């Protein structure tokens, strides 16, 4: 069981650490990359058969609100990952293959400054996703034509 610091943090915020929550946290942590809700549910259920899908949803939303996990929209489906501890990152999601790529925060600094200066609009760039077509799929598409 890693993520001891996350547990301390949650306890400090008055979040009760139930077996279900620990299990879901572990599942998300072990699921390298990004897991969908149903995948988290299925895996957690293997360890604890009474696990309820409603608990999974409630727990993931709680973790998201607490900043412990990050939600990434991949083609209409929500995926979850443990929040990047050393500096947040963003995502580029390919609409063709569904692949998710990380994007360092630097690339958004200027965009953010522009919106602030021009519109006094403070964008949420902590959890930012841009969809598009990745380089691999671009090559494939060209090959088809």
Binding site for its own copies (CB under 8 A): 92, 94-95, 101, 103, 107-108, 110-111, 114-115, 118-125, 128, 130-135, 138
Q: What's the closest the beta carbon of residue 84 comes to its own copies, in angstroms?
A: 18
Task: Measure the CA–CA gap between 141 and 137, rounded to whole angstroms.
Answer: 6
Q: Cα separations (Å) of 140 from 42, 61, 75, 94, 131?
A: 33, 37, 19, 13, 17
Q: How many CB atoms lie within 10 A of CB 95?
A: 14
Task: Measure the CA–CA gap between 74 and 118, rounded to whole angstroms.
Answer: 30
Q: What's the closest the beta carbon of residue 141 comes to DNA, in angstroms?
A: 23
- The residue (of 1 and 120) whose beta carbon lies closer to its own copies is 120
From its own copies, DNA, none, interface partner of 19 (C-beta below 5 to 8 A by class)? DNA
The residues that touch DNA, with contacts defined as CB under 7 A, are 11, 15-21, 37-38, 48, 50-55, 57-59, 61-62, 77-78
In 3D space, the residue among 137, 118, 18, 53 whose CA is nearest the CA of residue 40 turns out to be 53
From its own copies, DNA, none, interface partner of 38 (C-beta below 5 to 8 A by class)? DNA
């Amino acid at each position: 069981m890693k993520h001891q610091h996350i547990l301390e943090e949650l306890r400090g915020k008055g979040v009760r650490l139930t077996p279900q929550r620990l299990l879901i946290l572990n599942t998300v942590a072990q699921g390298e990359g990004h897991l969908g809700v149903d995948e988290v549910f299925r895996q957690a259920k293997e360890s604890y058969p009474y696990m309820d899908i409603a608990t999974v949803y409630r727990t993931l939303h709680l973790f998201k609100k607490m900043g412990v996990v990050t939600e990434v929209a991949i083609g209409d489906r929500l995926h979850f990952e443990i929040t990047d501890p050393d500096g947040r990152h963003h995502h580029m999601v390919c609409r063709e293959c569904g692949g998710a790529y990380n994007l360092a925060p630097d690339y958004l600094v200027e965009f953010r400054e522009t919106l602030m200066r021009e519109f006094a609009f403070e964008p949420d760039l902590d959890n930012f996703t841009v969809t598009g077509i990745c380089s691999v799929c671009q090559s494939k598409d060209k090959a088809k034509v």
